[in-house]
Amino acid sequence: MTQTETVPPFQCNLCGSTFNERPKLCSECGSPSIRDVKKTGWQLDVVTEDSVAHFKKKITPCWNERPAKPGEGKPGQKGIKHDLDLGTRPVVDTANQEWHLESYCRTCGSTYSWAQGRAATVLEMEQASQGKIRKPDYESAMGKA
């Protein structure tokens, strides 16, 4: 039996789940950061289930509640929640000259994470300064949205 027959060719960088075909997002944790195991000499990251369980916990409500208006929601309720609709988009931090894939809530725009960071290309820097590529939303990632 060869190595390609025993080791799945793709692995999630966040939770360690393995796949036979490269997914856009990890089906276990939702991360867009999937690596090609062939490029690392078929070395898999070995993780315990306990160490990554919190990454695999499904988030259904978005953490970004908005204040309740008078008469809205249940009596005494301070915030109104909405379901998390997770999406990804490219962003460029022009100050650091870095490109990332940003995970965000499509409903409210709040940022959840950045993955696949690398140096931005000259074209990406130009597009970011022209507003064609978004800049990272650090405020919403810190719960200030």
Chain segment 41-99, per-residue pLDDT in tens = 888 888 888 888 888 877 688 888 777 777 777 777 777 788 888 889 999 999 999 99
pLDDT value of position 142: 57
Question: What number of H helices and E strands is found in the chain?
Answer: 4, 8
* pLDDT at position 1 over 80: no
Residues 6+ apart with CB under 8 A from 43: 37
Spell out a b/e string for 33-51, using b for 16 or more CB atoms within 10 Å of the CB, else e.
Answer: bbbebeeeeeeeeeeeeee
- 116 pLDDT band (50/70/90 cuts)? confident
Q: What is the mean pLDDT of residues 17-46?
A: 90
pTM to 2 decimal places: 0.57
Q: Which pairing describes strands 111-119 and 79-80: parallel, antiparallel, or unpaired? A: unpaired
Report the C-alpha gap between 5 and 68 in whole angstroms: 55
